[in-house]
With several copies, the nearest count.
Chain A
Amino acid sequence: MTDDELIWRIAGGSGDGIDSTSQNFAKALMRTGLDVFTHRHYPSRIRGGHTFVEVRAAGHPVKSRGDGYNFLLALGDSFARNPQDEAYYGNEEAKPLTENLDDLREGGVIVYDTGLLDEGDVDDLEERAAEEGWHVYPLDLRGLAREHGSEVMRNTAGVGATAALLGMDTGVFEELMDERMSGDVLATNVEILEMAHEEVSGMEHTHALQLPEGTHEDAADSPVLLSGSNAVAYGALDAGCRFIAGYPMTPWTDVFTIMSQNLPEMGGISEQVEDEIAAASLAIGASHAGVKAMSGSSGGGFALMSEPLGMAEMTETPIVLVEAMRAGPSTGMPTKPEQADLEHVLYTSQGDSNRVVFAPGTVREAYEQTRAAFEMAYEYHLPAIVVIDQKLSGEVAVIPDEFFDREPDPGLGAVLTEAELDEAAHHASGVFDRYRHDPESGVSPRSIPGQAGGRFLASGNEHTPQGHIAEDPDNRVAQMDRRARKLASVRAELDGRETSHQTPYGPEDAEYGILTWGSQQGTAEEAVDRLNDDGHSVKALGVSDLMPYPSAEVAAFLESVEECLVVEMNATAQFRGLTGKELGQYGEHLSSLLKYNGDPFEPAEVVEGFESIVGDADADGDASGESTRIVPAVGD
């Protein structure tokens, strides 16, 4: 809530280049040495409709959207619908202004394009600005762009104006333009940028907000700017994944697209197929034949993978699936984030689940845990699922490039070579004992079709050590127990590692806890900072391992606090439920803070939620933010 940070919101219509302009703006800020974090909001529509991106930047770490924002660049929506009397969508043309005012902080800056937006369409803009101390700069960005180039360049003009108002010069923007444009386009854009900058620099400035100072360590030296989807894709590539099969679906499409664009150059294969059942089945087929393979989807597409997922479990074929969650049920709100697929991902497909599920909390974790997912899948012969959401998928963060300077993983995990196969156990008939009962770790030896001496049958039916269909009860129990042992081994391996996927934050001896999973981690951490600053004693644990569940770590955390607030973006408190299921106790100590309106939490909502539940004099059991809901602990 400090103003040593900039939260710049660029608003307009879908299809108006808001996203790419914001990406470049974020990059520019990164190059000035700031930490950067973005938050996207867009409709399920191709052209037109209210969309914005927030770029938050500061000299200290930023790891969440902020509470509101402090700089609005309102561009027009060139594809706004013409309202008619009964239009329930109201005046779309004015939305780049009207829809954004509620979240603008006191004293904030507004730049709007008078070429497309009419102050008259906004109720009481002047009064509200006076009340809230907003500084309003109406500028004819469209006019300027049209005059000196073309109308679409008004985004450039807006950036120029922004720079002028924040006391930045245009150098870093021109550098960026220079890298991605050339010729006339470049020249015109640079001209427009400079003209806007000059014009606005010459105006009287009433506001105080300037570009934040200081340098953040991650941005100090060779920083790179990456989205969660990008990190998943790069994690997969470095894990040695060279095959992807998919079918587009928001927000999964991002990962699929990045993989598809990189694989051909790396001698890999990307297949866009007829549906998600096929996509998952292809990944299984490719993996079976000896390739590190992945697939993935979102919501309904992942639902279609339910049956192949079980086939991978039963045949013990390693695959990695990405589930990029969006608001459900059903088609729901395709471009809005939610964390309501947790139970679906854990349990879909008949029979007892036998899979690994990771939900990275940050862009870095998205890279790390995708690599870990491949490792687990190929070492333990099971499907590993990386769960992200529309929030993590699209948000970008600054990471020093050394982070990526590591060895790729060239192996296929636990497989035998032909020489090893020669030595391995075979049935008297010559068939390889692919599924022998005895391995302690649960991982039985694996061969690849085409290897001499390795033939076996992979079957989704229960099977003998050679893979043949069998209904014998003893064999059944031996195979079920062995497959279950693999999960225990995964847990033991992860628990034994130096760095856990679970991220603790805040004072170790804190009195209260905040428990969260996946993409809410950064927001919870910001809330922890504020709460401790306000005199509370709170720490957080961001959980990524969902199956096998990190019982020891979570139990230790819960044991160490009085009470705990579980923060998640869904309506039925799924992660609290999972924790209750896995630990079987603590019910009296776990309250839930839920949000499911399609917007991710702001840190302030977590702060308020916490205060309304625990440790605050003002607490009122029922209180919760307007758009959040509290479910008190059992017996509370």
Chain B
Amino acid sequence: MSQSTNVFGAIGDAQEREEGIDREEFTPGIEPQATWCPGCGDFGVLKALKGAMPEVGRTPEEVLLVTGIGCSGKLSSYFDSYGFHSIHGRALPVARAAKLANPGLEVIAAGGDGDGYGIGGNHFTHTARENHDMTYIVFNNEIFGLTKGQTSPTSPKGHESKTQPHGSAKDPVRPLSMALSAGASYVARTAAVNPQQATEILAEAIEHDGFAHVDFLTQCPTWNKDAKQYVPYTDVQQSEEYDFDVHDRREAARMMHETEDALYEGTVLTGRYFVEEGRRSYGAEKAATGEAPETPLAERYFDPDYEWERSYDLLDRHR
């Protein structure tokens, strides 16, 4: 019995369960109904995430879900696990440190397109390059939802909003391409209108050992497109028309570029875009250099036998 089961009893719990995990374990007793608008794509993320949990074999209390601020940020209110509803754009730095502190946790971060590609863009690219072992779900509704419909970094050029009455003059960001060149080791796009694929992709992303970025198309019928505008969607893996190797960086890059362009021309492409296997996650890399401990740091404070180092033993250099 590993030490962790003494201290963090929830971790590893699932493996010992015989009956398996029920997705409904993640439905909170409080807040049974979310405050999202009727028809909002955010419901789709919640559903897919709940659906992925039995597949990855994790129970609520071994999951830490860190969210940003936005309609999307409320995901942690409606998903019953340990949660951290942080501030706008900062879910990733909170999440990645939690993972370093206790690698036994299943860490998932989530937020909006404004949250993740706008204000939080730098954390996005740096967390990707460091390849932290976690999943990052970006609710991409091409709009600022919670603040009432302003242009977001993924809004198409020409998009009119209260703050851009004549239409945005900016080319939208390319989230998949950015993730790839930043260094993410798993990159996918799915859509709320595609629940089966979404569940599968989330499960894969969570199981991926490294930074997994899922750009999740979530319609916002209130301020932007409704679900119809994301249908029909095409799964690039399923379709005959697209043929590329998700393990090949260059082919992935090409396919991403095409996918990003297509969205603004009304063609919704989804699927896995890049999967890098065998690359060490940041935690493993750091442990390998000798700059991170072998056992979870968080356990130490509960270990009565741990012999704490003292500054007294460092004094020789000061004599």
Contacts and interface: CB of A to CB of B under 8 A. Distances in A.
A269 B291 contact: yes
Contacts of A417: 302
A411 interface: yes
Interface in A24-59: 27, 44-49
A423 interface: no
Given A272-B151, A273-B126, A281-B86, A428 B29 contact: yes
Contact of A455 (B61, B100, B162, B309): B61
B297 A267 contact: yes
Interface stretch (B6-14, B196-204, B227-235, B246-254): B6-14
A247 B122 CA distance: 14
A162 interface: no
A450 B105 contact: yes
A223 interface: yes
A178 to B, nearest CB: 13
Contacts of B178: none
Interface in B36-89: 36-38, 60-62, 64, 66, 69, 71, 74, 76-77, 80-89
A248 to B, nearest CB: 4
A469 B69 CA distance: 12
B101 A286 contact: yes
Contact of A456 (B9, B83, B95): B83
A222 B300 contact: no
A408 B165 CA distance: 24
A456 B82 CA distance: 5
B17 interface: no
A328 B36 CA distance: 23
B32 interface: yes
Contacts of A226: 318
Contact of B118 (A274, A285, A458): A274
B210 interface: no
Given A46-B222, A230-B318, A290-B301, A453 B61 contact: yes
Interface stretch (A103-111, A119-127, A235-243): A235-243
Question: Which of B7, B13, B86, B151 has the most CB atoms of chain A within a 10 A radius of its CB?
Answer: B86
B147 interface: yes
B82 A449 contact: yes
B33 A87 contact: yes
Contacts, number: 313
Nearest to B120: A275
Nearest to B129: A274
Contacts of B35: 45, 47-49, 81
Contacts of B76: 457, 459
Contact of B93 (A237, A285, A408, A455): A285
Contact of A275 (B10, B89, B99): B89
Nearest to A78: B38
A284 B94 contact: yes
Contacts of B98: 285-286, 288-289, 449
A267 B166 CA distance: 13
A205 interface: no
Contact of A404 (B66, B99, B311): B311
B35 to A, nearest CB: 5
A499 interface: no
Nearest to A242: B297
Nearest to A274: B126
A290 B292 contact: no
A347 B20 CA distance: 50
A98 B97 CA distance: 45
Contacts of B126: 273-274, 278
Nearest to A80: B33
B312 to A, nearest CB: 4
A293 B147 CA distance: 23
B87 A311 contact: yes
A451 B63 CA distance: 10
A450 B85 contact: no
B211 interface: no
Interface residues on B, range: 35 or more
A86 B291 CA distance: 46
A81 B81 CA distance: 22
A620 interface: no
Nearest to B9: A452
A491 to B, nearest CB: 26
A250 B144 CA distance: 12
A284 B96 CA distance: 11
A455 B87 CA distance: 20
A171 B229 CA distance: 43
A275 B165 contact: no
A261 B122 contact: no
A404 B312 contact: yes
B80 A431 contact: yes
A450 B298 contact: yes
B286 interface: yes
A84 interface: yes
Given A46-B148, A86-B29, A408-B309, A286 B301 contact: no
Given A234-B311, A289-B102, A448 B97 contact: no
B84 A288 contact: yes
A261 B7 contact: no
A277 B90 contact: yes
A401 B315 contact: yes
Contacts of B4: 450
Given A234-B314, A449-B64, A455-B60, A15 B222 contact: yes
A211 B276 CA distance: 67
A282 B222 contact: no
Given A243-B101, A274-B153, A261 B165 contact: yes
A248 B144 contact: yes
A519 interface: no
Contacts of B166: 264
A248 B147 contact: yes
A418 B145 CA distance: 39
Interface stretch (A353-361, A460-468, A525-533, A626-634): A460-468
A282 B97 CA distance: 5
A86 B162 contact: no
Contacts of A260: 162-165
Interface of B: 4, 7-11, 13, 28-38, 60-62, 64, 66, 69, 71, 74, 76-77, 80-90, 93-102, 104-105, 118-119, 121-123, 126, 144-148, 150-151, 153, 162-166, 222, 286, 290-293, 297-298, 300-302, 306, 308-312, 314-315, 318-319
Interface of A: 15, 27, 44-49, 79, 81-82, 84, 86-89, 222-226, 230, 234-235, 237-238, 240, 242-243, 245-250, 253, 256-257, 260-279, 281-293, 300, 307-308, 310-311, 315, 330-331, 401, 404-408, 410-412, 415, 417-418, 427-431, 448-461, 466-469
13 contacts: A49-B35, A242-B300, A247-B119, A248-B144, A249-B147, A256-B163, A257-B163, A272-B163, A285-B84, A290-B297, A291-B301, A406-B310, A460-B85
